[in-house]
């Protein structure tokens, strides 16, 4: 079912060709505007593919996180003040790229009273007002469970509201300052505070030592709180300084997870070694 990673090269199904020319062009455009993407900050393996298709997940509220998760490549430290200019900068980028489906995310900003929720709301509403016909998906941190913050993003106008669970409860020590129960509760509140036509979404990594039984229990917890969209992908360590890969999960197991999840009532599941929470995001709602 799996390939243990110790002293082994990546298996064939994880050797993805990167087209640097497409990535360079997109990097230049985004740098000119002054906007970060999570694609760049997290060293996403799909970056050249997505950039070639002019798809990107915008990173607002800076590129410095207040948490130090041991699997994530986003820089950690003391963030800068909130840049109000990025509200227009993101919108200009959306216009220049001709995007019809936009994903907005951010690092954790525990230094802010609302965790950055107001900025999510402002960016979303500005895009919807200035670029008619564009749909927005939000991938938000847990806002430390603050209901007022969750309410802001739930009513922002986004068509998909995401918050990533990332891993099974037993392995939650890799998510510093996060709690499994709180993340589940955030998804419940996002679902309950939004209108019926809004979908909630989450993402899980595998290859960290989780079992199938643990994964299925997480699926059950997600369905109990109304989550209907799910991504499952292989964890790949950004470098040797991060959490080690315990196993390389075979494509057949990803297909098995997809079938289990769909049978449990999820409406759309993207499950493959290179799946990431924002990869081909528009497909989750049939765009």
Tell me whether residue 256 is exposed, middle or buried, using C-beta atoms within 10 angstroms of its C-beta: 0 to 12, 13 to 18, 19 or more: middle
Per-residue pLDDT tens over the stretch 121-154: 999 999 999 999 999 999 999 999 999 999 999 9
Q: How far is CA 2 from CA 7, 154, 209, 262, in A?
A: 15, 38, 10, 22
Average pLDDT over residues 50-63: 77
Distance CA 110, CA 67 (A): 8
Q: How far is CA 22 from CA 32, 47, 54, 73, 144, in A?
A: 16, 9, 9, 22, 37
**What does pTM read for this prediction?**
0.89
Average pLDDT over residues 173-189: 96
Helix (H, G, I), strand (E, B) or coil at 269: strand
Residue 87 above 70 pLDDT? yes
Which of left, alpha, beta for 260 (phi over 0: left; psi -120 to 50: alpha)? Answer: alpha
pLDDT confidence of 41, banded at 50, 70, 90?
low
Distance CA 2, CA 16 (A): 19
Residue 23 above 80 pLDDT? no
Nearest of 174, 259, 276, 254 to residue 11 by alpha carbon: 254
Distance CA 51, CA 258 (A): 26
What is the per-residue pLDDT for 12? 81
Please state, for a pLDDT cut of 90, what percent of the chain lies above it.
65
What is the per-residue pLDDT for 7? 47
Domains of the chain listed by start with CATH number: 2-285 (3.20.20.70)
Per-residue pLDDT tens over the stretch 191-248: 999 998 999 999 999 999 999 999 999 999 999 999 999 999 999 988 888 999 999 9
Q: Give the DSSP letter string of 1-70.
A: -EEE-TT-PPPGGG-----HHHHHHHHHHHHHHT-EEHHHHTT-TTHHHHHHTT--EEE-S-SEESS--T
What is the per-residue pLDDT for 49? 65
Residue 1 above 50 pLDDT? no
What is the per-residue pLDDT for 227? 98
């Amino acid at each position: 079912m799996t390939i243990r990673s110790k002293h082994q090269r990546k298996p064939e199904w994880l050797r993805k060709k990167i087209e640097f020319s497409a990535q360079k062009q997109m990097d230049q455009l985004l740098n000119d505007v002054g906007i970060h993407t999570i694609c760049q900050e997290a060293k996403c393996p799909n970056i050249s593919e997505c950039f070639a298709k002019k798809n990107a997940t915008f990173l607002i509220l800076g590129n410095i996180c207040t948490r130090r998760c041991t699997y994530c490549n986003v820089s950690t430290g003391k963030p800068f003040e909130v840049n109000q200019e990025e509200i227009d900068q993101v919108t200009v980028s959306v216009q220049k790229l001709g995007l019809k489906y936009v994903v907005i995310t951010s690092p954790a900003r525990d230094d802010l009273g609302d965790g950055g929720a107001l900025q999510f709301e402002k960016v979303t509403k500005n895009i919807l007002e200035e670029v008619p016909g564009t749909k927005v998906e939000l991938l938000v941190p847990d806002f430390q469970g603050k209901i007022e913050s969750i309410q802001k993003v739930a009513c922002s106008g986004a068509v998909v509201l995401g918050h990533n669970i990332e891993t099974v409860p037993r392995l939650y020590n890799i998510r510093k300052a996060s709690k499994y129960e709180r993340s589940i509760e955030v998804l419940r509140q996002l679902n309950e505070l939004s209108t019926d036509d809004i979908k909630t979404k989450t993402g899980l990594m595998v290859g960290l030592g989780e079992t199938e039984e643990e994964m299925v229990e997480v699926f059950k917890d997600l369905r109990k709180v109304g989550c209907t969209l799910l991504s499952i992908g292989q964890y790949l360590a950004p470098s040797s300084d991060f959490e080690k890969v315990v196993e390389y999960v075979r494509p057949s197991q990803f297909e098995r997870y997809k079938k289990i999840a769909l049978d449990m009532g999820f409406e759309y599941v993207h499950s493959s070694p290179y799946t990431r929470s924002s990869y081909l995001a528009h497909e989750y709602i049939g765009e």
